């Protein structure tokens, strides 16, 4: 797969001026300028990232009306149901609101749907079941905005409904009593990128103010809200919303809250993953340790246990749940590896790996909850659209598919041209889901690949790596990397710095496979007498290729600080490499 390296342009005079004004290394000055920060005042504001920068809850559309309705229901002793989603954002949103209403002594319960049997969003049968159990008010979290028909069912049953969501709108808005949404039509909230947990946090904040009868909440409410900021940070990172504006504030302070005052269940989970030994947390700790364990519960039909982990006050139960979710995550990894092996085998047997425009792969018994992860990994590896379809073992139910585009082509547009072969589909340009009859798989595969072939050019097939700046390895001191990390937390829309270095030597014999299944790479690189360790995740095959290189290479990497047994060393996370003089 060809990759083009694009180094962002810079003004040397502007870099030198900012370097002098802020007393920072050249490479850090370039990173700030790339983010539109060009003076000392902007640097201070960006780095301070104060919690007071969060907008008051009443500014979020629907919050004043929703908080008043819910608070009245609490005081009236109505039976309240929090209806969440089965992913990490839905679980964290549910736990925040459940903790808040419990603090207010509400008659409240939560429901986390089963991905396989209940499907995404509000389910009409579940609404009926909960109505029969006496629930009078439903509060949806991280779902509901596209469930107009299901909410009609609730209203016909005489239930009140408050929708809190952040997803895209359907053709008509639901006829709920109140809708809380940062992008609600007809409103002008200045930041539309909040996740479900952040919306739930704003609602909880407003409820605490009502209960305190003041903007400044009671001490117990304040302690809860600080814990909730940590929980909301998990949803924000796990849901891959942009880490800008309020989201960057939430994650910055949420990481500290998780370190200082995590809920019991999270504390137990963090001990299992080794996070408690770290000096401080970063967004990657959520993205690679906490988020996947919560999502594993949702993917394997155990979402209620994820919410319970976040709300339990029983130390023994917290430990049991943490152990179970950790084991569930290991099961999820094994299932993913099994599907990945089967999918790669299909690619090798049925496709031209170099030239075919897309891969549509299907297997009986594949777990529909994890195929999205595998399709994303393969799409990234091969640099083209990949669809995995989980076919029913008995051939009775329709197949469920998950698509990722690998940075090439528009999945939504392509699936629109293949609707004759599908029962239904949804999603956007980069990711989509679909259902189809097994008998239509071959015809769909032909139609899908044909449309991708016609709609993309050779130029589209070249994946571009955007590089912040060029550096020499000797510039990458621990102090410099610490300064770079202050630009975080890194994630969607605020990516970790990507640098490149030229004319680098491979330390002979250092390129080795490592990790489970030898899937990863470890290698030592040297430049002008400075030697650093580099690792590349999922790129174990590079070990043999690097061993064959004659001469120097150029490298693209993310610089990090690796903490191990009390030692802190600069390490490179290798993104790409090529022999000197070679280009895309």
Which residues make up the CATH 2.40.50.460 domain(s) of the chain?
3-11+464-579
User: Is pLDDT above 80 for 566?
Assistant: no
Residue 565: its pLDDT value, please? 74
Tell me the average pLDDT of the chain.
Answer: 94
Instruction: Say how far apart CA 362 and CA 311 lie, in whole Å.
Output: 38
Percent of the chain scored above 70 by pLDDT? 99
Domain at 57-325, CATH class: alpha beta
Distances from the Cα of 362 to the Cαs of 342, 416, 513, in angstroms? 9, 20, 30
Architecture of domain 3-11+464-579: Beta Barrel (2.40)
Instruction: Say how far apart CA 391 and CA 411 lie, in whole Å.
Output: 21
Domain at 351-455, CATH class: alpha beta
Residue 225: its pLDDT value, please? 98
Instruction: Say how far apart CA 55 and CA 52 lie, in whole Å.
Output: 8
Task: Please list the alpha-helical segments (H only) found in 401-531.
Answer: 411-416, 441-455, 478-485
Residue 165: its pLDDT value, please? 97
Give the residue among 282, 284, 259, 279 at the shortest CA–CA distance from 270.
259
Which residues make up the CATH 3.90.1640.30 domain(s) of the chain?
57-325
Q: What are phi and psi of 449, to 5 degrees?
A: -65, -35
- Element of type H or E holding 238: helix 219-238
Percent of the chain scored above 90 by pLDDT? 83
Residue 429: its pLDDT value, please? 85
Task: Please list the alpha-helical segments (H only) found in 104-139.
Answer: 124-132
Instruction: Say how far apart CA 87 and CA 515 lie, in whole Å.
Output: 27
Which residues make up the CATH 3.10.310.30 domain(s) of the chain?
351-455
**Contact (CB, 8 A) for 476 and 559:** yes
| 182-202 pLDDT per residue, tens | 999 999 999 999 999 999 999
User: Is pLDDT above 80 for 107?
Assistant: yes
Distances from the Cα of 202 to the Cαs of 66, 173, 506, in angstroms? 11, 21, 51
User: Using H for helix, E for strand and C for coil, what is the string for 142-211?
Assistant: CCCCCCHHHHHHHHHCCCEEEEECCCCCCCCCCCCCEEECCCCCCCCCCCCCCCHHHHHHHHHHHHHHHH
Confidence label for 584 from pLDDT (cuts 50, 70 and 90)? low
Of 111-115, 401-405, 566-570, least confident by mean pLDDT is 566-570
| 296-351 pLDDT per residue, tens | 999 999 999 999 999 999 999 999 999 999 999 999 999 999 999 999 999 999 99
């Amino acid at each position: 797969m060809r990759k083009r390296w694009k180094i962002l342009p810079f003004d040397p005079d502007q870099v030198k001026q900012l370097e002098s004004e802020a007393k920072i290394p050249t490479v850090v000055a370039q990173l700030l300028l790339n983010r539109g920060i060009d003076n000392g005042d902007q640097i201070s504001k960006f780095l301070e990232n104060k919690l007071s920068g969060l907008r008051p809850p009443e500014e979020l559309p629907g919050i004043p009306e929703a908080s008043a309705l819910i608070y009245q229901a609490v005081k009236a002793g109505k039976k309240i149901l929090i209806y969440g989603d089965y992913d990490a954002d839905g679980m964290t949103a549910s736990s925040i609101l459940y903790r808040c209403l419990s603090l207010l002594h509400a008659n409240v319960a939560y429901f986390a749907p089963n991905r396989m049997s209940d499907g995404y969003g509000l389910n009409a049968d579940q609404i009926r079941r909960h109505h029969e159990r006496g629930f009078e008010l439903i509060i949806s979290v991280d779902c509901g905005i596209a469930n107009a028909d299901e909410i009609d069912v609730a209203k016909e049953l005489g239930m009140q409904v408050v929708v809190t969501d952040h997803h895209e709108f359907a053709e008509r808005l639901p006829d709920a009593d109140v809708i809380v949404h940062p992008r609600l039509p007809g409103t002008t909230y200045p930041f539309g990128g909040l996740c479900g947990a952040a919306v739930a946090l704003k609602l909880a904040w407003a409820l605490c103010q009502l209960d305190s009868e003041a903007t400044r909440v009671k001490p117990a409410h304040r302690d809860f809200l600080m814990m909730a900021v940590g929980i909301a940070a998990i949803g924000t990172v796990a849901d891959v919303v942009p880490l800008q504006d309020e989201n960057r504030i939430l994650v910055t302070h949420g990481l500290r809250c998780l370190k200082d005052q995590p809920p019991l269940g999270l504390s137990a989970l963090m001990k299992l993953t080794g996070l408690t030994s770290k000096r401080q947390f970063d967004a990657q700790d959520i993205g690679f340790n906490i988020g996947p364990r919560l999502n594993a519960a949702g993917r394997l039909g155990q979402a209620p246990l994820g919410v319970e982990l976040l709300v339990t006050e029983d130390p023994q139960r917290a430990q049991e749940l943490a152990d179970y979710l950790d084991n569930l995550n290991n099961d999820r990894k094994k299932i993913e590896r099994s599907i990945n092996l089967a999918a790669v085998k299909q690619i090798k047997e049925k496709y031209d790996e170099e030239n075919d425009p897309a891969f549509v792969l299907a297997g009986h018994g594949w777990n529909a909850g994890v195929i999205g992860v595998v399709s994303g990994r393969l799409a990234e590896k091969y640099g083209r659209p990949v669809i995995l379809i989980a076919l029913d073992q008995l051939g009775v139910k329709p197949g469920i598919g998950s698509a990722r585009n690998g940075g090439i082509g528009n999945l939504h547009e392509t699936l629109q041209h293949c609707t004759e072969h599908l029962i239904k589909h949804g999603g956007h340009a980069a990711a989509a889901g679909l259902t189809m009859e097994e008998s239509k798989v071959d015809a769909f595969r032909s139609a899908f690949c044909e449309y991708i072939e016609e709609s993309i050019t050779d130029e589209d097939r070249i994946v571009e790596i955007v590089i912040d700046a060029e550096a020499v390895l000797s510039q990458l001191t621990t102090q410099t990397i610490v300064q770079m990390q202050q630009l975080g937390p890194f994630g969607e829309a605020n990516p970790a710095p990507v640098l490149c270095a030229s004319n680098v030597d491979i330390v002979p014999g250092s390129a080795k496979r490592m990790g489970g299944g030898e899937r990863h790479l470890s290698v030592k690189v040297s430049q002008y007498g400075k030697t650093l360790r580099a690792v590349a995740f999922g790129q174990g095959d590079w070990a043999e290729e690097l061993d064959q290189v004659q001469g120097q290479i150029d490298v693209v990497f993310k610089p990090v600080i690796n903490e191990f047994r009390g030692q802190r060393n600069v390490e490179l996370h290798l993104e790409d490499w090529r022999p000197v003089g070679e280009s895309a």
